[in-house]
Structure 1
Amino acid sequence: MSMVADNEKIHAGTAIPTGHSDGKDEFSSIRPFEDSEIPQVVDRLLADKQFLQILPAVFPGTPVEAIRQKARGCKTLLDFQLAFVYSLVKGIMAKASKGFDMDAKALDTKANYTFVSNHRDIVLDSALLDVLLVDNKFTTTCEIAIGDNLLKYPWIKDVVRLNKSFIVERDLPMRQLLLASKRLSDYMHYAISQKHDNIWIAQREGRAKDSNDRTQKSILQMMAMGGEGSVVDRLKALHIVPLAISYEYDPCDFLKAKEMQQRRDNPDFHKGPMDDVTSMRTGIFGYKGSVHYHCAPCIDGYLDTLDPKTSKGVLFETVAKHIDSEIHKNYRLYPNNFIALDELLGADHTGSYTDEDKAAFDSYLGAQLGKIDLPNKDEAFLRNRMLTMYANPAINCLAANGITA
């Protein structure tokens, strides 16, 4: 891809504001950086000793000054993504996957949407979506909802905000949490209606460790705190698109299984300060096989069919179930999913895989289990948990399409 040519095409398709028209910046603590802030943030990053230690691994052989000049040449956050993130993600996936693609036929590439997806990978869910939006000729990438629990160091916060991320504040006292949720919702509505950007947000807080993907009502409740009109009007204003993300292999499967045993054996177990960092690194660089993104139709039309007199609780539950159904039925299933389903439930989907597929998957599971370092390692439990991770997408997809597993 020619970065200059595609950059010009993207910029021609949308107006990207550089500030707030009313002169106020009520979102300054959570929003992505403004375009005008890029130079000072770049200088701050390139003066950070921790960040400088990581740079050679990310951009081997590239002098710091060359990175500074390239970054300072970026006039917008979209320029920054195209100059650095696009090629970085492509390079990672060239080494760690068979390829990745997206079916976006149900969408208008000139419109803006809030993508609500199942959550497979801490970093790549949104990073791959950005690349795929560019490759599918959308007018811009997306702003990314990221929990502040992942921002362990100041430089990480700077990097993600340069990459069009906005911050979801967590672990606050109830009153502050409500205020933070309202500000978050207001910002999302602002990003869609005023900045004309896309948004990505996971359907739940944290990844579904067992891949049994379900939308949390609280996510929808938060979304409806901003905007105007009825609950339906507020959800429609965000133009929600259910997005199904399908991995052939989840490189973090063994880490998730390990955490499940730790929680089983110790109800008071809490992840260590570096556990999320380990998951991020493993998820980014671990082998994924094939990865597929599938965009369901925007739910605006579906929302118009709902009874406006429905109580809020029932409404949120109904919309969450619709999003789940759209995600489930649009999974791309791989032989691994059917093999796991058959091993777990004693079902028979042997028409969906070969003996070679089964031998390869069994070998893969054995290798992943070998990576788990626990003093009281429960092999049977861990294998069952990993099989469940691969079986659940098949169970849910078959159910959503009216097929008995």
Structure 2
Amino acid sequence: MRDMMCFDDIRPYEDQEVNHYINVLLNDDLFRQVLFFIFNDENKVKEVSAMLAGVNSIKELQLKFMYPLIEDWIIKRTTSGITYSGLENLDKSQSYLFISNHRDIILDSAILNYIVVNAGMNTTEVAIGNNLLIYDWIQHIVKLNRAFVVKRNLPVRELLTASKTLSQYIRKTVTKDNISVWIAQREGRTKDGCDQTQQALLKMLNLSNSGDFESGFRELKIVPLSISYEREPCGISKVEEIYKKERDGYVKTQADDLKSMAYGLTRPKGRVHFAFGKPIDAQLERIAQAENPQECIQRLADQIDACIYKNYKLWPYNYLAADMLSESGKHNGEISDGCKEKFYELLDDLVKTIGEGDAECQKRLFMKMYAAPLLNAERVCKEKIVY
């Protein structure tokens, strides 16, 4: 068992705790409602519950319950297939820190673990904000699936302490326990389609660095990960949130987060691609030559972003949205008539869902969300960002 005495309030559950917390879940009325929602059959729920009651390890839970669930209930029902690239650049015996763009609350990390398991690698531990642990059953299910907690919305002094602890936990997990970690490049999902690594994330990671900038980040073995959904999970809800924030000072609630989790799991996503970049290693020496620590952090963030933009799998909707915004036919070769019809239907659904306000403004926000990955990729290729 790993030495985690300092991390008990954020760490995932360990094997010896699994059976206890599974049985806590099985006695939780809300969790049982979730099982009925998924399987919609009382006998199937009884069968699954009996199987879960006998599970005694994280690996057993993931292989017997989580991965069949992800495959049958999410991938087969709500996507047109999952593809991935770049894993050949990674050593399956090594651990990495996957830093990725963030499009869906649950799916980003769930599909990542589905992919790495199928590729013969160990599952990663994943970061989840405590703002999403709305109910006890959510906390139990995520901690049973190798999630650790990121504490948010704390007073400044408490936040610094929590950030140091989180940084130490991530570094220990990757460098000493040889377990990979997934963390989003920013707090919260990208809602406007423009993925960007926050300096705060990299500063947090550097808090546990006992060496110099270069060696501290080198040992984390950062791998930029580009997550690309053909049809943006909760895309309409994201635009509705942006629009209402700009107009009415809309404030998101826990209920909105819960709704987003449900939408992401159940709504169509089209094709999905995960592109694993090469570990950021050789570039660190040059990045570390910046004039000051702040500039080093910004250069590393730019490097991660450039990798994510270059490797992002672009879909016809991305090209179509960019052409609609620029009123050009620059990318006509990438766009079919069927694609146009489906995208126009999404635009109509957007306006109907919001139900009021400036329809053209709402459509433009939607198009910007889809165009942003293409525009970022084109910009990076033009600027040739290399340190």
Instruction: Give 1:46-125 correspondences, 5 Å limit.
Output: 46-61=26-41, 62=43, 66-91=47-72, 92-103=74-85, 104-125=87-108
SS class of match (1:291): strand
What is the aligned partner in structure 1 of residue 285 from structure 2?
A: 304
Query: Is 1:255 the equivalent of 2:237?
Result: yes
Among 112, 117, 129, the residue aligned to 1:134: 117
Query: Is 1:32 the equivalent of 2:12?
Result: yes
SS class of match (2:104): coil
Bigger mean CA offset, 120-129 vs 242-251: 242-251
Among 144, 154, 158, the residue aligned to 1:172: 154
| Aligned counterparts of 1:365 and 1:82: Cα–Cα separation in 2 | 39
Tell me by how many angstroms 1:43 deviates.
Answer: 1.5
What is the aligned partner in structure 2 of residue 45 from structure 1?
A: 25
SS class of match (1:197): coil
| Aligned counterparts of 1:257 and 1:308: Cα–Cα separation in 2 | 40
Tell me by how many angstroms 1:354 deviates.
Answer: 2.2
What is the aligned partner in structure 1 of residue 371 from structure 2?
A: 391
Q: Which amino acid aligns with 2:312?
A: Y
| Aligned counterparts of 2:57 and 2:247: Cα–Cα separation in 1 | 49
| Aligned counterparts of 2:323 and 2:131: Cα–Cα separation in 1 | 37
Deviation track 1:354-382 (CA, whole Å, cap 9, x = no partner) reads 23322232123223432224xx3321111
| Aligned counterparts of 1:403 and 1:100: Cα–Cα separation in 2 | 31
Bigger mean CA offset, 285-294 vs 104-113: 104-113
Between the two proteins, what is the percent identity of the paired residues?
Answer: 36
SS class of match (1:243): strand
| Aligned counterparts of 1:94 and 1:309: Cα–Cα separation in 2 | 47
What is the aligned partner in structure 1 of residue 141 from structure 2?
A: 159
Q: Which amino acid aligns with 1:223?
A: L
| Aligned counterparts of 1:371 and 1:97: Cα–Cα separation in 2 | 22
Instruction: Give 1:2-401 correspondences, 5 Å limit.
Output: 18-20=1-3, 25-61=5-41, 62=43, 66-91=47-72, 92-103=74-85, 104-138=87-121, 140-267=122-249, 269-308=250-289, 310-347=291-328, 348-373=330-355, 376-401=356-381
| Aligned counterparts of 1:26 and 1:312: Cα–Cα separation in 2 | 28
| Aligned counterparts of 2:67 and 2:351: Cα–Cα separation in 1 | 33
Tell me by how many angstroms 1:98 deviates.
Answer: 0.5
Contact in 2 for aligned 1:96/1:287 (Cα 8 Å):
yes
Q: Which amino acid aligns with 2:358?
A: D
Tell me by how many angstroms 1:35 deviates.
Answer: 0.9
* CA RMSD across the alignment: 1.8
Tell me by how many angstroms 1:353 deviates.
Answer: 1.3
SS class of match (1:293): strand
Tell me by how many angstroms 1:69 deviates.
Answer: 4.2
SS class of match (2:207): coil
Tell me by how many angstroms 1:79 deviates.
Answer: 2.1
What is the aligned partner in structure 2 of residue 12 from structure 1?
A: none
Q: Which amino acid aligns with 1:272?
A: T
Structure 1 unaligned residues grouped into runs of 5+: 1-17
Contact in 2 for aligned 1:121/1:207 (Cα 8 Å):
yes
Tell me by how many angstroms 1:261 deviates.
Answer: 1.6
Deviation track 1:231-265 (CA, whole Å, cap 9, x = no partner) reads 22222221110000111101311111111121111
Deviation track 1:105-145 (CA, whole Å, cap 9, x = no partner) reads 2222221111100011000000000000011221x011010
Bigger mean CA offset, 183-192 vs 309-318: 309-318
Deviation track 1:324-364 (CA, whole Å, cap 9, x = no partner) reads 00000011111111100000122321121123322232123
What is the aligned partner in structure 2 of residue 15 from structure 1?
A: none
Q: Which amino acid aligns with 2:266?
A: F
Contact in 2 for aligned 1:223/1:234 (Cα 8 Å):
no
- Normalised by the length of structure 1, the TM-score is 0.90
CA, structure 1 residues 308+398, in 2 after alignment: closer, same or farther (shift >3 Å)?
closer
CA, structure 1 residues 72+192, in 2 after alignment: closer, same or farther (shift >3 Å)?
farther
| Aligned counterparts of 1:210 and 1:380: Cα–Cα separation in 2 | 16
Contact in 2 for aligned 1:126/1:144 (Cα 8 Å):
yes
SS class of match (2:6): coil
| Aligned counterparts of 1:184 and 1:203: Cα–Cα separation in 2 | 15
Bigger mean CA offset, 323-332 vs 362-371: 362-371
Tell me by how many angstroms 1:171 deviates.
Answer: 0.6
Deviation track 1:188-231 (CA, whole Å, cap 9, x = no partner) reads 01111232111110000011211101100100010111142112
| Aligned counterparts of 1:258 and 1:325: Cα–Cα separation in 2 | 28
Structure 2 unaligned residues grouped into runs of 5+: none
